[in-house]
Each structure stands twice: as structure tokens, then as C-alpha cells.
Structure 1
Amino acid sequence: MGSYRASRTEEDVKRELSDIMRSLKDPRITGLLSIVKLDLAKDLSSCKVYISSMDGLEAAKSAVKGLTSAAGFIKHELNSRLKLRRLPEFSFVADDSIAHSADIARMLNDLQK
């Protein structure tokens, strides 16, 4: 699989995964969630998804628990949206980069004042 096709497939999975995440009804998956990074194996066997929340790391960890329990549903939905020969096994990881970048932006604004 060429690098262009791999990156295109990775972007397609990221786009569809973010849409599926918005439609989940799990109460642990709340707030503004974002997919920071997606590591898709070249053979499509595994996919590591880094999730960040605007509400902080604890909200991201809670969302990861909800997403992990809904991994089968996510895989089923992804299969109906993207016709891939092989679907990856998802593993979700909590990340605090959104909150960290918001803190940096707040500090920079304080310095300007």
C-alpha cells in the first residue's frame, strides 16, 4: 500500500470516526471531544486513536472508557460507511493536548495585557 493511499485511508477513518463519536449515546462521552491523532497500521490491523477533551484529562479518560465499550458498534458503523477489506482493532488513548494548548493560549493573552 503506497503512502498516499495509507494517508488517504487514515483521513477517511478519522473523518468517519469523528462523525460516529458524535452520534453515540453513552453518557460518558460528553463535551467537546476531538481526535488529536490517529495511528493506523499499514496493514489495517490496528488503530490507536488519541482523544482529547476541552473539559480536561478526566473527561477524556471517561470518554475513552465509553469508546472502548462501544468499539464493536464503532467497527460495525465504520464497515457500513467505508468499504475496507480489513477493519482495524481500535484502542483509544486519553490525551490532554487541547486543555494544554488552551492553557498556553490563556498565558499568552495574559502576557499581552
Structure 2
Amino acid sequence: MAREFGRSQRVASEMQKELASILQRDVDDSRLGFVTINDVELSKDLAVAKIFVTVLDAQDDAAKRANVKVLNEISPFIRHELAKRMRLRHISELHFYYDHSFDTGMRVAELLGDLHHDEGHDASAAPEDVVDKSQQDD
């Protein structure tokens, strides 16, 4: 019987929780904003971890890139803290990436809100202003 979740998925889930805790409690770097861990993808051999983050208080792309750069610079410290908390023989090499899905989702929600707002104006038009094109004489 196959397992529903493989070992790498279970380790990635635990790693995500521990990384969030480390960033919240142990990392004291004023260059970092409010960083959240969205996802962790591990290679099958658990040697490399791709960590996808968002920075909630970063206003522009430069600030987002700067936060990711800082995370990659302090990744040896984070990896050391992770090794203390997780019971693994080898700890993955950590690579941080910015996750644009949050920004994309916010943009889609904004566009849908605008669309809904525009439809509200069309629905409030007087019935005599609406003309059925199929009943028009040419």
C-alpha cells in the first residue's frame, strides 16, 4: 500500500513549521520585514530545500528582492538552528525564493472587485436605457 505523503513531503511540512518559528523567534535582523514561509519543496534525497516566502510589508520589488537576499545571506545560521530542532542526519541546503502567488492573488481579487463594481453600475441603469439588439429594426 502506497503512502499518501512521501517522506520528503512530511519533512518539508515539518521544516516549514520550524523555519517559521526560527524566523519569528531567533532571527533578529533589522533588514528583514515580516516574512512568511509559504511553501517548502525538498528534493527527493532531501539535499536541497527551495523555500518560498512572502514579505508582507515590502512595498516594491526592490524591497522584496532585498529581503530574499538577506535570507539567503543568513541561511547558514538558519540551517544551523534548523539542525538543532529537526532529527535528521543531514540538513538540507536552504535556498530562499520570493513567492509571487500572494501578489498575483491580490491583483486578481482587485480586478474581480473592479469588475463587480462596474457591473453594479450597469445593473442600476434604467430599463428603458437597455435595448435588446435582436428586436431592433434595421
TM-score (norm. length: structure 2): 0.70
Deviations 1:31-57 (A, max 9, x none): 3x2323322112121111122223353
Q: Does structure 1 residue 50 correspond to structure 2 residue 24?
A: no
Greater relative contact order (Cα < 8 A, sep 6+)? 1
Greater Cα offset, 37-46 or 81-90: 37-46
Aligned to 2:32: 29
Aligned residues: 111
After the TM superposition, which segments of 4 or more aligned residues of structure 1 sit over 4 Å from their partners? Answer: none
User: Partners of 2:31 and 2:61 in 1: how far apart?
Assistant: 13
List alignment gaps of at least 5 residues for structure 1: none
List alignment gaps of at least 5 residues for structure 2: 118-138
Aligned to 1:94: 98
- Partner SS for 1:52: strand
Deviations 1:80-109 (A, max 9, x none): 111111101111122322122111111112
Q: Does structure 1 residue 8 correspond to structure 2 residue 10?
A: yes
Identity of aligned residues (%): 30
RMSD over aligned CA atoms reads: 1.8
Of residues 30, 37, 40, the one that matches 1:38 is 40
Aligned to 1:64: 68
TM-score (norm. length: structure 1): 0.84
Greater Cα offset, 58-67 or 73-82: 58-67
Q: Which amino acid aligns with 2:15?
A: V
- How much has 1:66 moved relative to structure 2? 1.2
Larger Rg: 2
Instruction: Give the 3 Å change call, closer, same or farther, for CA 95–57 of structure 1 in structure 2.
Output: farther
Q: Which amino acid aligns with 2:85?
A: R
